[in-house]
A and B are shown apart, each in its own frame.
Chain A
Amino acid sequence: MNDSLFAQLVSLCAGLLLLSGVLIVWRRSLTAQVRFLALQGAALAVLVAVIGDYQTSAELIGVAALVLALKAVLLPAVLNRAVARGDAGQLETPVINTTAALIASSLLTMLAYVVSRPLQAAGSGPAAKAVPVGIALLLYGFLVLATRRHAVSQLVGFLMLDNGIATVAFLISGGVPLVVELGVSLDVLLVVLILQVLTGRIRTEFGAADLDDLSELRD
């Protein structure tokens, strides 16, 4: 793979990641959010494969397959089960309206470019240039966590935050050592499974998976 093709492919994947992030912030339907999260996972997997091919690292190609299986197939399937249990097609009412959320996401994107300066200093080339995209996804994840009150949306926000961190990791250093990568993937999977089970319990206990009901413990 020559340098210009690599640069184009990295930019394409980064664009897809950012787009899917904005779409998740935009859409209020849980089903759509999960679908875009799967798209984001697939874009991340392609990005990893592209970096792996460029660095001719068989290990990274393997990691790309792992990312594809986990983030584009398995985790969205878990989330879909959590959605299907109760409120498929439900539109949630976020704390802020869609326009405000989109404006916030554009501001966060700019913030991501500002705060990524010291990170980009570490490397050069197209991969390092795309690092702000990962930070932007991380910030979108926080935005979703802070403004959505449905349990499944919180899961989506957490996974987007995780995707953002993974994007930074792959762009800046070609990922972490394989043992760590495997452990991290397993942990994320288990956390999501636990949260899915808890979502089900919240739904049976409170009648809906709306987290505004979770406000009985306070001082």
Chain B
Amino acid sequence: MTLLVLLPGVVCLGLAAATALRPRAAWGRLAGLLGAAAILASGIALVAIVLNGSTPTAAGGLLRVDALSAFMLTVIGAVGLTATWAGLPARSGPNPPGRYVSMVCLFLGAMSVAVLADNLGLLWVAVEATTVATAFLVGHRRSRHSLEAAWKYVVLGSVGVAIAFLGIVLLYAATLSAGTPTLSWSVLDHTHPPMDPALVTVAAALAVLGFATKAGLAPMHSWLPDAHSQAPAPVSGLMSGVLLSVAFYAILRVQAIVDPVIGPDLMRNLLLTAGLLSLTVSAALILRQRDLKRMLAYSSIEHMGLLALAAATGSTLALTAALLHVLGHGLAKSSTFVVSGRILAAEGTTQIADIRSLHARRPGLAVPLLVGMAALLGFPPFSMFFSEVAIVVAGFQGGLGWVMAVALALLLVLFAGLARHTVRMLFGASHRDAAAETAGGAPAVRLPTAPDRSAHGPRVPLAIAFGVVAVVGFAAGPLASILAQAASVLGGTP
């Protein structure tokens, strides 16, 4: 069991080192895939073990797996596998540089360590390590834009996370003056040392502020659209699909520690503010987005805002729904980002205005884009429909009626904006036709070219990811029990 806990970190670090040392090895392009597969395998195995009632530990108690950790590890593995598999370069094309693959492995490993750590300090180190790993991935294309995005991302990300570290330091000081110096959240969860509430209040506020920066919650979100739009598509998918959720997981852990000490009000107010602001910002900016990838990035801010509202509600229903939402959003968003990368490769642009009548011209790309956007918009049967409904219902039950009413109104705006952009890209007439029609002439005669049915990359991972998102909302059994257990780890009130 110890081996299973160590497996994700060790495999990913090993692959990162191997690809850095042998950048030209033929198997190098598969390294990210292998790392993600190892994470997924050990995640599923750990879910089974945790459901049997044990909590494996490793590395002298630094790593510990409870239901929440096992679930998050599975999500990282599943999303990682989707993004790396679907993002594989064509076999005929050149191998990606060794450093790219190496950084992807490091990134996956750091995220796994973050969710397995039983120590807020180690969790912080792992979250900061994700910034280190993704910095060069964001700046991978070396254009002016990607350089600017990388600079903003590293500076804002590191400063924000440094603030979270101050919060963790103060929490440590509070435990020290309570007589049990520890940063282990399992110890803090179970023993409840008598900590100074004033100090814990400051610590909690700083920690949430810091991790919220990394989670892309408004008003600390300004790096996110830049970084997510400039990174290579599979990396955007990983950052949007899981990195944000991993940072959000850190907030959930902090909440579980501090709520028993100072009551739920502080965290609830902070999270409500951040959640509503995030929804407002994304709703205000989604309508005038001109770039497909930036649009997807703002949609991520929207979904993080929803998660913040769910965490603020704090009931078992809300937390269970939030975790289901993490899974659904991760898979759907990473797949859609990969599709946007294929569109960039095929069309040479991600400008929404330049992508027209995609459905007629390139059905191989249009169908996955349509399915992905439908999932992100929350159409049934995709799981996000159920998790969003559950979050709103839980909010109404928890006495947050007016917040949820505002959130619903903002979600409607977001829905309209995203749907409008998507429909235009898929079915909209191209500029040339529109110009010809307004000029009164007949539409320009086009050569009857056969539509491009190629998917421009592996179809299977996208099909699996969308399939999982479609059925996971109905899946009971092990998923329901692991979600319920994870919510109870977070101290959800029934």
Contacts and interface: CB of A to CB of B under 8 A. Distances in A.
Contacts of A84: none
Nearest to B167: A165
Contact of A217 (B142, B149, B170): B149
B107 interface: no
B199 A154 contact: no
A194 B138 CA distance: 12
A118 B202 contact: yes
B225 A219 contact: yes
A191 B158 contact: yes
Contacts of A154: 155
Contacts of A174: 176
B166 interface: yes
Contacts of B361: none
B152 interface: yes
A180 B124 contact: yes
Contacts of B285: 219
A214 B162 CA distance: 23
B132 A214 contact: no
A173 B169 contact: yes
Interface string A117-144: 0110111000000000000001000000
B294 A219 contact: yes
Interface in B261-294: 285, 288-289, 294
B148 A214 contact: yes
A187 B170 contact: no
B216 to A, nearest CB: 15
A123 B125 contact: no
Contacts of A165: 162, 165-166, 169
B122 interface: yes
B165 A216 contact: no
Contacts of B159: 145, 158, 161
Most interface-central of A119, A162, A168 (chain B CB within 10 A) = A119
Interface of A is mostly: helix
Given A198-B139, A217-B145, A176 B150 contact: no
B199 A119 contact: yes
Nearest to B229: A217
A186 to B, nearest CB: 8
B154 A122 contact: no
A187 B113 CA distance: 14
Given A118-B198, A191-B132, A195-B155, A123 B124 contact: no
Sorting the interface of chain A by its residue count into under 10, 10 to 19, 20 to 34 or 35 or more gives 35 or more
Contacts of A51: none
A205 B144 contact: yes
Interface in A170-215: 172-174, 176-177, 179-180, 183-184, 186-187, 190-191, 194-195, 198, 201-202, 205-206, 211, 214-215
A108 to B, nearest CB: 16
A158 B147 contact: no
A211 B151 CA distance: 9
Contacts of A145: 155, 159
Given A198-B147, A202-B147, A122 B158 contact: no
Sorting the interface of chain B by its residue count into under 10, 10 to 19, 20 to 34 or 35 or more gives 35 or more
B243 to A, nearest CB: 16
B151 A198 contact: yes
Given A165-B169, A219-B289, A179 B62 contact: yes
B177 interface: yes
A122 B168 CA distance: 14
B154 A176 contact: no
B142 A168 contact: no
A131 B155 CA distance: 25
A145 B174 CA distance: 29
Contact of B177 (A123, A179, A180, A191): A123
A30 B149 CA distance: 24
A68 B166 CA distance: 21
A123 B122 CA distance: 25
A194 B62 CA distance: 28
A169 interface: yes
A211 B147 CA distance: 11
B131 interface: yes
Nearest to A131: B173
A154 B152 CA distance: 11
Contacts of B201: 118
B135 A194 contact: yes
A137 to B, nearest CB: 11
A182 to B, nearest CB: 9
A44 B310 CA distance: 42
B169 A158 contact: no
Contacts of B142: 201
Given A191-B158, A198-B154, A219-B294, A176 B132 contact: no
A196 to B, nearest CB: 11
B154 A195 contact: yes
9 contacts: A119-B199, A121-B199, A180-B122, A190-B132, A195-B154, A198-B139, A205-B144, A217-B148, A217-B149
Among all A-B residue pairs, the 3 with the closest Cβ atoms: A180-B121, A183-B125, A118-B198
